[in-house]
Structure 1
Amino acid sequence: MHELILLRHAEAQPAKPGVEDSVRRLSRRGEQEARAAGDWLKKHGKKPDRVLCSPSERTCATGTLALAALERAPAMQTAKEIYNATPGELLVLLDKHLDASTVLLIGHNPGIERLVALLVEGRSNEFRGMPPAGLAVLHLDGPLEPGNARLDAFWSP
């Protein structure tokens, strides 16, 4: 893997009492944010070989709307490991996809923002925040290990 693109799901509707968190849908603003993330990826020539997505409603909707902007986007693969994942759990999942040149992972905070910190800074407690629909583009010159990535771009709507 040479490039890892991390996308936090776009703004979701508020949680409702008694309703599972995983079925929360995107808000109207979230739908716009997800489309804007896709437009940013297209404008910057980002072409993922593989797309891994948490199975929650809001992450799948974010991925679907963002990928619609790209020509010949790969099929989105859901991975239950992404939901509520720690940076370590995300690294275990990504280790299974090292054969892809560019991976787009769509997930949740705090896992996404802590993964950025772990890969760039070497420590997951150095996170700076990842807003809804925020994108972090990481370049890897070597193995997928803490402190071994360079943050090439950070975008938020």
Structure 2
Amino acid sequence: MHELILLRHAEAQPARPGGDDQDRRLSGRGEQEAKAAGTWLASHGVKPDLVLCSPSERTRATCTLALASLEHAPEPQLADEIYDATPGELLALLDQHDEAGTVMLIGHNPGVERLVALLVEGRSDEFRGMPPAGLAVIHLHGSLEPGNARLDAFWSP
């Protein structure tokens, strides 16, 4: 893997009383944010070879709407381990797919924002935040190790 695209899910509706967090849907604003993320990816020529997505409703919807802007987007693979993952758990998942040139991972905070910090800064406690539908495009300098990457682009709606 030489490039990693991290996308946090777009704005979601609050959980219903007694409802499951994984069932939260995107808000109307969130749908627009997800489409805008896809437009940004397409306009910058970012093309993932592999897409890994959390199974939650809001991440799947973000994925569908964002990928709709890309030509020949790969079929997303749902990965249960993305939901509520630590940066270490996300690294372990990504290590299983290092044969792909560009990997896109669609997930949740704080895991996604801490993974950006870990890869770029070498520490996961030095995160700056990742808003809903925020995108980080990271270039890896060799192996997938802390501090072994460069943040090439950051976008948020």
If the length of structure 1 is used for normalisation, what is the TM-score? 1.00
1:30-41 equivalences under 5 Å are 30-41=30-41
The equivalent residue for 2:108 is 108
Letter in 1 for 2:125: N
Deviation per CA, 1:78-110, whole angstroms, max 9, x where unpaired?
Answer: 000000000000000000000000000000000
Which amino acid in the other structure matches residue 155 of structure 1?
W
Aligned partner of 2:58 in structure 1 is 58
What is the Cα deviation at residue 15 of structure 1?
A: 1.4
The CA deviation at 1:16 is 1.4
Q: Whole-Å Cα distance in 1 between the matches of residues 122 and 70 of structure 2?
A: 32
Partner-residue secondary structure (3-state), 1:126: coil
Aligned counterparts of 2:76 and 2:54: Cα–Cα separation in 1: 10
User: Structure 1: which amino acid aligns with 2:124?
Assistant: S
- Distance in 1 separating the partners of 2:87 and 2:49: 22
- Which residue in the other structure is 1:73 paired with? 73
Instruction: Report the secondary structure of 2:150's partner residue.
Output: strand
Q: What root-mean-square deviation, in Å, do the aligned CA atoms of Structure 1 and Structure 2 show? A: 0.3
1:112 CA displacement? 0.1
Equivalent residue for 1:145? 145
Query: Residue 17 of structure 1 corresponds to which residue in structure 2?
Result: 17
Q: Which runs of 5+ in 1 are unaligned?
A: none
Amino acid aligned to 1:125? D
Q: Secondary structure at the match of 2:125?
A: helix
Stretches (4+) displaced over 2 A: none
Any idea what SS the aligned residue of 1:47 has?
coil
Whole-angstrom distance in 2 between the partners of 1:47 and 1:81: 23
Unaligned runs of 5+ in 2: none
2:80 matched to 1:117?
no
Aligned length: 157
